Amino acid sequence: MMHFLLLFSRQGRLRLQKWFTPTPEREKKKIIRDMTAMVLARKPKTCNFLHWMDLKVVYKRYASLFFCLAIDDQENELLALEILHRYVELLDKYFGNVCELDIIFNFEKAYFILDEFLIGGEVQETSKQTVARCIEASDMLQEDDNSDWYDVELFG
Amino acid sequence: MSDVVERTLTALPSLLSSDPSPGRPSSTSKLGTLIRGITELTSKHDEEKLIQRELVSIKEQVSSPNTTMRQMKELMVRAVYCEMLGYEASFSYIHAIKLAQQGTALDKRVGYLAVSLFLNESHELLLLLVNTVLKDLQSTNLIEVCMALTVVGQVFPKDMIPAILPMVEEKLNHPKEIIRRKAVLALYKFYLIAPNQVQHIHSKFRKALCDKDPGVMSASLHIYLEMVTEKPESYKDLVVSFVTILKQVVGGKLPIDFNYHSVPAPWLQIQLLRILSLLGKNDRSTSEMMYEVLDESLRRAEMNHNITYAILFECVKTIYTIHPKAELLEKAAKCIGNFVLSPKINLKYLGLKALTYVVQQDANLALQHQMTIIECLDHSDLIIKRETLELLFRITNGQNVKVIVEKLLEFLRHSKDDYVTIDLGGKVTELAEKYAPDNSWFIRTMNTVFLLVGDQMQPDIPNSFLRLLSEGFESAEEDQQLRLLAVDSYVSLLQEQPARLPQRFLQVISWVLGEYSSVKEGLEPATVLRLLAPLLDLRHCSSETKSWVLAAMTKLSAGPACLSVAQELAERHGGSLDTTLRQKLHELQHLASDAELLRRVLPCSDGLESLEVDSSLSFLDGFVSEALAAGAAPYKPPHQRQEELAQEKALSVEPYGLSLPLSLSSSSIAGRLSPTVLSMSSGLSGNSTELSPKGGALRLEGVTRVWGKEGYLAKAALKPEEAAKTEVPCTLSVLQEGGSAPRTPVVSLPAPAPGPSLQAEREKQQLASCLFVGLGSQGAAGPCLMGKAEPTRHGFRKKVKGQGSSSGAREPSGDSASSSHSPSPLSAQSAMDNLLCSSPLDSGSTPSPADSAPSPADSAPSLADSATSPVDPAPHLPHDLPANNRPCDAQEDLTEDTDTSETVVEGNSVAVVDPYDPESLCLSPHLPEELCGLPRSEFRPLCRDASLVLSACCVRTDHSSLLVVFVSNASDSAARGFALQMTSGDLEVSRVRGGPEEEEEHVEGHSVAVYQYSLVPTRPSVHMELAGRASYQRPDGEPQSTPFSYGLSLPDFIRPLSVSTEEYGRLWLASSNDTKQNLALLSQEPDPLRATLHRLRDRLQLNVVDIIASEGIVACQLLQGPPCLMHCRLNAGCLAVWLRSSLPELPDCLLYHCQRALAQH
């Protein structure tokens, strides 16, 4: 089970936060502080895993952005790394050559994609196509509100 | 792919200034402006100002009525952004909910998103979302359904699950797989937060598992993983299915969509492997079914990519978890080897983790890789190092312990993370205790741990260390050596730099020196005292530590040299503001000057006589009951307080049913209030359960030979030393002294213990232990030690309330001057009421202000009572039965007595003139044969109309309580289609089909039909109300329906519980909810205790298990419910009772009825 996902820049600026387990505000702030400090302090050629209290933290840097995911101790760290990677792939597919700016200015889209991919701390859908299709369909609603078409589009 | 991403992301900084491409979302929006604004700022302060301004403007706009939903969406996005930066925007939460409710399509989606980001599942605003979710779940727009299910899967209030559960369940059959998948995940969420709610749909989970869509199927595996973890044996039948699915996945039978870097559905594979490992654990036959597919998985996962390693790792774990198969183990070991030896650091980490996991089964594997492990131990990455230490910890044994502990300590020295420090400190301690090669090593290691971990360490480390020292190992010689070493090393530590030592360590040092410094020859107590004394001057030394230090000094203080140190200290710290410190100093001074007293207080015996600690603190019972009698609020343990708070807050989800007005009837109010307010409940239980774990633990370790069997009196004599020991007992002793102010040093030394009363105590104790000898080993700490009656305490008891309670309970007997000649139950009732407002009791003549309201009601029924009392119809029964509904009935009578043609006529108030009096109807012959001769209540009319009269009585059998309803038809024609319905909030009512008649029933003219209902209380309560309705067709075809009610009281559902004294003892210890109170004694009788208990037995069906001397034990049981135990003791003219039951309400309710039973003569 995943506990939280944080995206932050090299400067330690938070770009996205998702909490899968109920966490009090005060603790959230502490975690964000700890995570950015710990992850940013890591030297190159160290492993992508950290311990934080009784959780494992798996992080990976994509360009200037750090993706940081906390999982239960008995979870598979490598798999968590691939979850991060899959998320980046999904963002990339949606934005087309995703960059940090896309996530900054369209963070709500990044959240929508995340919500189709992970839910309640578990992987919801592993098929890239399905997630993409789902997001597209919901997006189209914005432009065209008489929604007869989506049935075909979304559900193939 | 990842390379592409990396490249594009690296190009990012240059993009910041340039305009985004046309397809890109615009950064000219308001959000864009905000973000740009923030990036341009340099200081945190400016940012804060900017955002506060932004928040103000958002706040203005969201609350403006002219804001459209589309604008609202935009505002929400900005609010989310501000929250992400760490600024609170709680004013927008409600608008997020509104947006989700009223927006369309994308607006709604943003609303839902904001809700899921802003609120967590305990937030109260979420309740407002329930309706929106409900509406969207029913929407024909699939996207809206998806949105609703998505939000449900993330945040949903637990209490409201029942409201949407059916609809989510329904979605499991939806034609679209995406909806089914989301529904399964929503149910998974429900399963996690409220497993009971989804228990009934386990079969539907199976259907989801067999879903033709792989996405739905893999979603259902989340639920299965949880359920299998909890209860693997229930899902063994699914092993074949899981294995088949895994085979198909591994064989690439799934759509190519699910591939991840050309590996088929890795997430699915790993999930299945986990489930299989749980199912195959310790189960040979199940494991055998998996071997083939595991082998296949290992073989297929050969590609060189992270995801295949992840699968391999999971395979290895599974292979080592299930019943072993040599061939597979070999392959798995090879796999682990590859991991450990891999140059990729992530794989190395995983290899170490796998080794840690398997090493207990296969230590050879660690041997094979020892060189790699050694290398990892010096790895530059701390995480790898830490993981290696974890592995070493698992392979520690007697031979390698020194090296491994040294490594652990080294890491500990450099660790900055508190969590790691505490964890490793615990591990080192564990290893040291388990494998210590010799004593001096042990002491040295522990010293290092105390120094390094400092005050964050788990408290059980110093505790168990001290226990080890005091209890020792096998040989006494070894023990002495250990202690000597400890003393030696501590003395030298104190000589060096005591200021650097952590508090916990100082406490340990003080205790050991105080206890064992005599072991070292040539070490004068005065020298030790001089070593300890400077600790009191340390600024960072907490007052708890100072207490430990002083306790140690007190133990050592013998001889003139010590006296001078003590006096010196007293002078220096005598002016301290800390009263505890002052008091202890004073004690030290006194004991140092009086060697005789010191010996008595702190006997110097080296033997390890087992300590007997009265962890229930029962010696305080007397004090507590006095405090309660003086008006103190009863103690509630923290969890109870919390529960009550939670109950106040919690919203009721259930619709308001009929039961509400009924349960509010005045009888139940009066009835419920008096026991709860009066009873001196739970205070002591709270002390016993709450304090003992905390204080008990500390005391057990830190204090020796203090609390002997002598109980509290011995303690009174030992007070100074005991007070010096720890904080907890100290405060208690203050309490026990009965004074409200903290004790000053002047009174701290008690006068020589009161000899005669000590003697008396001893005798009592002997008596008590004779009485409860059979109560099991711990029984001694139970009832017999409870509340030592203390003759000297009487002064305290003569307090307002206490006096009121004893005289109040007796009042009705001396009440003959008041209006009714045979004191009715009601006057007892009103006596209770009076007590509540602590006014003098005289129900008739001097109505107190609080009494004035019900007083008209008082007089009516008591008159009525006197009218009926000559005809006492059911001699077997408790007298108070008919009085159940008195207060309310009486009022009804007063208001409605002109209106006799209809509805409720209750009580016997009209008995004399009523032609329909149940007795005059001669109902007893109609009582079913099997019920004749059983104890029953008198017949009471329920309701009547022109043709029918309903009456009822309650019959008690051994295992049930039956309500027998008599329907007498006095008219000529039959009442057709007669039906009775009964409901109750407190009772479970079920019809007993005794007679031949079924369903449609007719009551012929001039006949009596009999109905039986079995009643089972769902929760105990003083009075229970039953509401019913009789309906039938009148001869003219008109439907007729008449309501009625029937009151019952707790004694109807109490049965004697026959147990032996031994069983009683066991039960006593097993029950937890205590209530204590003093009851009136039937003091005129020659043997008051026996008479009182027999009265209770006769009235309330209690079983008197045993009476010995001045104590008695009584047991009963709630019908189809738990037992309630009662321990009674004569105490100063009262009967001190102590009730225990596993049901918290039961003792209170029973006490109330005991009071009533004793009040009426």
What's the complex ipTM?
Answer: 0.91
* Interval A33-51: pLDDT, tens: 999 999 999 988 889 999 8
CA-based nearest residue to B310, from A103, A99, A156, A84 = A84
> Rounded CA gap, B36 and B569, in Å?
67
CA torsion B491→B493→B495→B501, rounded to 10°? -120
Please compute the mean of the pLDDT values over residues B1090-1119 and round it to a whole number.
Answer: 85
Residue from the list A97, A134, A137 with its beta carbon closest to the beta carbon of B8:
A97
Residue from the list A82, A92, A123 with its beta carbon closest to the beta carbon of B307:
A82
Residue A139: closest CA among chain B residues belongs to which residue? B106
Supply the pLDDT for residue A66: 95
For the entire predicted model, the pTM comes to 0.58
Task: Check CB contact under 8 Å for A105 and B185.
Answer: no
Provide, as residue numbers in chain A, all residues whose Cβ is less than 8 Å from the Cβ of B267: 79, 123, 126
Q: How many angstroms from the chain centroid is the CA of residue B433?
A: 33
Supply the pLDDT for residue B604: 62
Please compute the mean of the pLDDT values over residues B749-777 and round it to a whole number.
Answer: 43
Q: How many CB atoms lie within 10 A of CB B959?
A: 9
Amino acid (one-letter) located at B842: D
> Rounded CA gap, B462 and B700, in Å?
12
Tokens of B554: 């007190």
How long a stretch of residues is chain B?
1161
- Residue B74 pLDDT > 80: yes
Q: Is B270 on the interface with A (CB under 8 A)?
A: yes
Provide, as residue numbers in chain B, all residues whose Cβ is less than 8 Å from the Cβ of A32: 86
Q: Which residue is it, tokens 């020991």?
A: B725
Task: Check CB contact under 8 Å for B306 and A81.
Answer: yes
Supply the pLDDT for residue B953: 85
- Partnered with residue B956 across adjacent β-strands are B961
Q: Give the number of A-B residue pairs with CB atoms closer than 8 Å.
A: 218
Supply the pLDDT for residue B1014: 86
Residue that wins the pLDDT comparison between B918 and B575: B575
Amino acid (one-letter) located at B309: Y
Judged by CB atoms within 8 Å, which residues 532-591 of B form the interface with A? none
Residue B17: closest CA among chain A residues belongs to which residue? A101
Supply the pLDDT for residue B756: 52
Please compute the mean of the pLDDT values over residues B761-789 and round it to a whole number.
Answer: 37
Residue B184: closest CA among chain A residues belongs to which residue? A124
Range with lowest mean pLDDT among A142-156, B251-265, B440-454, B658-672: B658-672
Q: Is B105 on the interface with A (CB under 8 A)?
A: yes
CA-based nearest residue to A86, from A117, A48, A108, A122 = A117
Residue that wins the pLDDT comparison between B1156 and B722: B1156
> Rounded CA gap, B595 and B225, in Å?
69
> Rounded CA gap, B83 and B45, in Å?
17
Supply the pLDDT for residue B877: 39
- Residue B749 pLDDT > 50: no
| pLDDT band for position B811 (cuts 50, 70, 90) | very low
| pLDDT band for position B605 (cuts 50, 70, 90) | low
Residue B4: closest CA among chain A residues belongs to which residue? A97
Supply the pLDDT for residue B1006: 78
Supply the pLDDT for residue B981: 82
What is the distance between the terminal CA atoms of chain B, rounded to a whole angstrom? Answer: 93
| pLDDT band for position A113 (cuts 50, 70, 90) | very high
Task: Check CB contact under 8 Å for B143 and A109.
Answer: no
CA angle B1140, B1146, B1150 (to 5 degrees): 90
| pLDDT band for position B752 (cuts 50, 70, 90) | very low
Q: Is B755 on the interface with A (CB under 8 A)?
A: no
CA torsion A112→A117→A120→A124, rounded to 10°? 140
* Mean pLDDT, all residues of chain B: 73
> Rounded CA gap, B1150 and B1127, in Å?
13
Range with lowest mean pLDDT among B197-201, B426-430, B624-628, B673-677: B673-677
Amino acid (one-letter) located at B128: L
Residue that wins the pLDDT comparison between B819 and B992: B992
- Residue B291 pLDDT > 70: yes
Supply the pLDDT for residue B187: 92
Provide, as residue numbers in chain A, all residues whose Cβ is less than 8 Å from the Cβ of B181: 124-125
Residue from the list A49, A112, A119 with its beta carbon closest to the beta carbon of B185:
A119
Task: Check CB contact under 8 Å for A115 and B31.
Answer: no
Supply the pLDDT for residue A58: 96
Is B208 exposed, middle or buried, given 0-12, 13-18 or 19+ CB atoms closer than 10 A?
buried
Please give the backbone phi and psi of residue B1138, each rounded to the nearest 5 degrees, phi first. -135, 115
Q: Which residue is it, tokens 């009486």?
A: B890
Supply the pLDDT for residue B994: 53
Contacts of B844 (CB under 8 A, 6+ apart): B815, B817, B818, B819, B827
- Partnered with residue B962 across adjacent β-strands are B955, B1014
What is the distance between the terminal CA atoms of chain A, rounded to a whole angstrom? Answer: 31
What percent of chain B lies above the pLDDT cut of 70? Answer: 71
Residue from the list A63, A96, A106 with its beta carbon closest to the beta carbon of B25:
A106
| pLDDT band for position B906 (cuts 50, 70, 90) | very low
Task: Check CB contact under 8 Å for A99 and B265.
Answer: no
Provide, as residue numbers in chain A, all residues whose Cβ is less than 8 Å from the Cβ of B177: 155
Residue from the list B86, B143, B154 with its beta carbon closest to the beta carbon of A120:
B154
* Interval B717-743: pLDDT, tens: 334 444 334 333 333 333 333 333 333
CA-based nearest residue to B84, from A69, A104, A35, A113 = A104
Q: Is B193 on the interface with A (CB under 8 A)?
A: no
Cβ pair B176, A155 in contact under 8 A: yes
Cβ pair B772, B780 in contact under 8 A: yes
Please give the backbone phi and psi of residue B381, each rounded to the nearest 5 degrees, phi first. -85, 115
Task: Check CB contact under 8 Å for A88 and B154.
Answer: no
What's the gap in Å between the CA of A99 and the closest CA on chain B?
5
| pLDDT band for position B761 (cuts 50, 70, 90) | low
Cβ pair B329, B318 in contact under 8 A: no
CA angle B614, B1068, B678 (to 5 degrees): 85
Q: How many CB atoms lie within 10 A of CB B1091?
A: 15
| pLDDT band for position B552 (cuts 50, 70, 90) | confident
Residue from the list B9, B222, B381 with its beta carbon closest to the beta carbon of A64:
B9
Residue B416: closest CA among chain A residues belongs to which residue? A38
Parallel, antiparallel, or unpaired for β A118-119 and A122-123?
Answer: antiparallel
Supply the pLDDT for residue B650: 52
Provide, as residue numbers in chain A, all residues whose Cβ is less than 8 Å from the Cβ of B142: 150-151, 154-155
| pLDDT band for position B840 (cuts 50, 70, 90) | very low
Residue B178: closest CA among chain A residues belongs to which residue? A155
- Residue B374 pLDDT > 90: no
Q: Quick one: CA dihedral B323, B329, B331, B336, positive or negative?
A: positive
Supply the pLDDT for residue B417: 83
Task: Check CB contact under 8 Å for A126 and B218.
Answer: yes
Supply the pLDDT for residue B648: 61
Task: Check CB contact under 8 Å for B188 and A122.
Answer: yes
* B648-655 contacts, C-beta under 8 A, 24 or more apart: B650/B159, B651/B127, B651/B159, B653/B159, B653/B160, B653/B162, B653/B163
List, as one string, the DSSP characters of B937-986: PPPEEEEE-SSEEEEEEEEE-SS-EEEEEEEEE-SSSPBEEEEEEEE-SS
Provide, as residue numbers in chain A, all residues whose Cβ is less than 8 Å from the Cβ of B386: 51
> Rounded CA gap, B435 and B136, in Å?
63
| pLDDT band for position B688 (cuts 50, 70, 90) | very low
CA-based nearest residue to A73, from A87, A42, A52 = A52
* Interval B849-896: pLDDT, tens: 444 344 443 444 443 344 433 444 444 434 443 434 444 343 444 334
- Partnered with residue A59 across adjacent β-strands are A68
Judged by CB atoms within 8 Å, which residues 108-127 of B form the interface with A? 109-110, 113, 116-117, 120-122
Cβ pair B35, A9 in contact under 8 A: no
Judged by CB atoms within 8 Å, which residues 211-240 of B form the interface with A? 215, 218-219, 222
List, as one string, the DSSP characters of B571-639: HHHTT-S-HHHHHHHHHHHHHHH-HHHHHHHS----S-PPP---TT-GGGHHHHHHHHHTTPPPP--HH
Task: Check CB contact under 8 Å for A126 and B260.
Answer: yes
Cβ pair A153, A133 in contact under 8 A: yes
Cβ pair B809, B1079 in contact under 8 A: yes
Supply the pLDDT for residue B912: 38
CA-based nearest residue to B692, from B736, B723, B728 = B728
Amino acid (one-letter) located at B646: A
Cβ pair B588, B554 in contact under 8 A: yes
* Interval B928-966: pLDDT, tens: 777 777 888 888 888 877 778 888 888 888 888 888 888
Contacts of A4 (CB under 8 A, 6+ apart): A17, A18, A19, A20, A21, A23, A31, A69, A70
- Residue B664 pLDDT > 90: no
Mutual angle of helices B825-836 and B886-896, in 10-degree steps: 100
Residue that wins the pLDDT comparison between B355 and B922: B355
Task: Check CB contact under 8 Å for A82 and B13.
Answer: no
Residue that wins the pLDDT comparison between B826 and B1093: B1093
Q: Is B313 on the interface with A (CB under 8 A)?
A: yes
Residue from the list B5, B80, B255 with its beta carbon closest to the beta carbon of A88:
B5
Most B CBs within 10 Å, among A119, A142, A148, A154, to test the B interface: A119
Supply the pLDDT for residue B319: 93
Judged by CB atoms within 8 Å, which residues 11-70 of B form the interface with A? 11-13, 15-16, 20, 23-27, 31-32, 35
